[in-house]
Amino acid sequence: MQVRRVPGTALANQTNSDIIYTPPVGLALLRQKLANWEFYLHEQQDLDSLIRMAVGHYQFETIHPFTNGNGRTGRVLNSLYLTQENLLTLPILYLSRYIINNKADYYRFLLGVTRYRDWEYWLYYLIQGVAETALWTTAKIAAIRALHNMTIDHVKKPRLKFIAESWWI
């Protein structure tokens, strides 16, 4: 998908269609803001990676470079960024689960930064999401492993009795 070239993209309230945020317009301006975003993510090394991910996600969504798909792209970028920063070995932290489950807060805190420079709520929201998702994912991995082992045990059990019983079928 190409970066937006024409005006007309705006974020509206889903219930009454009121425009709540209009992202920047014009290819040159979008390219300049994307360059700034990229520079921030790579160069602002004095800040913790989680803070950079949260700020970078806000920046990306607010620049809103595409006509559609900005949310999905931004969420994929979060996992890829944590992998690049060596906080994950694989992009398996499904942070989107938390964002989708807490969507009203997500929208509210994004807008809070734009309207009131309310960074604290936004940062806390996303970092809390990382913590919750990390615990959830760890439990999920443990459950998958347990199921895997149970299945192996089950398959290894002698099945002579079963064969004998089904002989007449």
Ligand X SMILES: Nc1ncnc2c1ncn2[C@@H]1O[C@H](COP(=O)(O)OP(=O)(O)OP(=O)(O)O)[C@@H](O)[C@H]1O
Q: Is 68 in the site for Mg ion (CB under 5 A)?
A: yes
Say whether residue 14 binds Mg ion (CB under 5 A): no
**By CB under 6 A, residue 107 contacts ligand X:** yes
Cα 118 versus chain centre, distance:
20
User: Cβ of residue 134: shortest distance to ligand X, in angstroms?
Assistant: 21
Dist CA 66 CA 13 (whole Å): 19
Q: How far apart are CA 47 and CA 62, in angstroms?
A: 21
Report residue 127 CA to chain centroid gap.
11
Residue whose Cβ sits closest to ligand X: 71
Contact 75, 96 (CB under 8 A): yes
Encoded one letter per residue, x for contact with ligand X by CB under 6 A and - for no contact, window 12-31 reads: --------xx----------
Scan for tokens 């929208």, then name that residue: 107
Using the rule CB under 6 A, which residue among 59, 62, 79, 133 binds ligand X? 62
Residues that bind ligand X (CB under 6 A): 11, 20-21, 61-62, 68-72, 74, 107, 110-111, 114
